[in-house]
Amino acid sequence: MNAQLLTSTPPIAEVIDELRAGVRGEVLAADDERYEAARGVVYGGIDLHPGAIVRVADAADVAAVVDIARRTGLELAVRSGGHSVAGHSSTEGGIVIDVRALRDFELDVEARTAWVGAGFSAGDLTNRLTPHGLAIGFGDTGSVGVSGITLGGGIGYLVRKHGLTIDSVLGAEIVTADGAVRVVDAEHEPDLFWAIRGGGGNFGVVTRLRFRLHELPGIVGGLFVLPATPETIAGFVAAAEAAPDDLSTIANVMNCPPVPFVAEEHHGAIVILGMLVWAGDPAGADAALAPFRALGEPLADLIHPSPYAEVYPPEDESYHPKAVSVTMFVNRIGREEATTVVDRLAASDASLRAVQIRVLGGQMARVPTDATAFAHRSSRILVNVAAFYEGEADRPARQSWVDEVAADLLQDDTGAYVNFLSAEGEARVRAAYPGGTWDRLAAIKAIHDPENLFRRNQNVPPATDASPAVSDAARLADG
């Protein structure tokens, strides 16, 4: 055990006093009138009570909080957008570093690069870049924190055109467990730079990210809703796989919500609520979209030319859904698998249940598997099975349904996407980081966080032996 750690945890009131004396940002405790709002996260069913929430003002604040957490032994959580399905954005009785005030923004339009504070959401940053005809691919939700989604990979509307979010990362500023503020990139601490591109929050608190930006004057895209049948689902997936890389899609096969753009008679029916984004020459959009439109008469076709920022519409901040989910990669969604999806969705009475299908490939697959800590470059399709639950009594049945659907769809690819994992245990985290990826991450963790201070995440514990991976990581750190 590190000699700097206290033998017992001091009273939280003492820790709060030390925090307030040591940081420029705000420190909220349970007796603060803003505490209740500040401790909330996106998903319902997560009701944690941190001992202190620190709204850090800069990297120096982060370093001070990290030092206090290390010395006191209090559990440390990091919040950006608050979208962790597992509840890792908060802690019971520990300290939350809230990075949402870190909104530095340095844009170089000519070089097409930007330094971006970790406090930005995907939607905020996209809105900043769109007037310049520039973009980064994030996910499908605008309120997700830029740092959170990036550290896990980032699979969204530009994944086939420009790859994962991490494929656009040129560098980062990160505060590690020793309190050091480091700037890492391909030339400076390349081992740590490799690890944070896919390795999640295991290695420190990222305070800024440097992105390569992509020219994107506009898109042709929007919602496309079809009745869900085995034929339309399999056809949608086949069309997405055959499409040019300029087209990325997300198909939510689900019971239709009461949306105004679908006739009321179809509300509650099982539909494909698809989002299609064409990021190429607008003149080629119609030909690329034609196979989808040939699948049948749509219930809604809202595809149109627009600025890229329209992919992130405004969200209701008061909406806190309670959901269970399982994420997986699959090799195929053909007619047999599509039949399973339709039958399983029809048999459930959850208020909302969905099988989300994201066809991958394109630029994402062209990056070498070992170039980053995201190890699933050859995976063809990402699936996320989810269901809403109403309360704790209802949750086990919904979890059982989700698990059964996932088991029905399980194929040869046993990997997992770390950003979609809930609290599922070490085996599932290992599925996100298979084989040598896990070993290399654990070795780098042993160098930069040997006490596992950053454990409130999909955790990779530090390696404890003198394995070749540890030696190689130490050599890289020294070099």
**pLDDT, tens digit, 9 for 90 and up, residues 142-195:** 999 999 999 999 999 999 999 999 999 999 999 999 999 999 999 999 999 999
Distance between CA 82 and CA 376 in Å, rounded?
Answer: 25
Average pLDDT of the segment spanning 414-443:
97
d(CA 23, CA 2): 24
Mean pLDDT computed over 193-206: 98
Token duo for residue 245: 């890389």
Q: Look up residue 62 and give its amino acid.
A: V
Give dist(CA 109, CA 87) in Å, integer: 37
C-alpha 35/C-alpha 392 separation (Å) is 25
pLDDT of residue 236: 98
Helix orientation angle between 12-22 and 59-72, rounded to the nearest 10 degrees = 150
What string of H, E and C letters represents the secondary structure of the chain?
A: CCCCCCCCCCCHHHHHHHHHHHCCCEEECCCCCCHHHHHCCCCCCCCCCCCEEEECCCHHHHHHHHHHHHHHCCCEEEECCCCCCCCCCCCCCCEEEECCCCCCEEEECCCCEEEEECCCEHHHHHHHHHHHCEECCCCCCCCCEHHHHHHHCCCCCCHHHHCCHHHHEEEEEEECCCCCEEEEECCCCHHHHHHHCCCCCCCCEEEEEEEECEECCCEEEEEEEEECCHHHHHHHHHHHHHCCCCEEEEEEEEECCCCCCCCHHHCCCEEEEEEEEECCCHHHHHHHHHHHHCCCCCCEECCEEECHHHHCCCCCCCCCCCEEEEEEEECCCCHHHHHHHHHHHHHCCCCCEEEEEEECCCHHHHCCHHHCCCCCCCCCEEEEEEEECCCCCCHHHHHHHHHHHHHHHCCCCCCCCHHHCCCCCHHHHHHHCCCHHHHHHHHHHHHHCCCCCCCCCCCCCCCCCCCHHHHHHHHHHHC
Cβ atoms of 89 and 79 within 8 Å: the answer is yes
How many whole angstroms separate alpha carbon 94 and alpha carbon 259? 40
pLDDT at 472: 54
CA-wise closest residue to 303 among 418, 221, 188: 221
| pLDDT at residue 266 is higher than 60 | yes
Residue 287 exposed, middle or buried by CB count within 10 Å (0-12, 13-18, 19+):
exposed
Band (pLDDT 50/70/90 cuts) for residue 467 is: low
Whether 476 shows a pLDDT value over 50: the answer reads no
pLDDT at 3: 40
pLDDT band at 465 (very low <50, low <70, confident <90, very high): confident
pLDDT for the residue numbered 8? 65
The CA angle 437-441-445, to the nearest 5 degrees, is: 170
Give me the residue label for tokens 């950053």.
Answer: 454
Nearest to 313 by CA among 143, 149, 165, 147: 143
What pTM did the predictor assign? 0.94
Q: What is the mean pLDDT of the chain?
A: 95
pLDDT of 211 strictly over 60: yes
| Least confidently predicted of 63-67, 178-182, 315-319 | 315-319
CA–CA distance, 114 with 162 (Å, rounded to integer) = 16
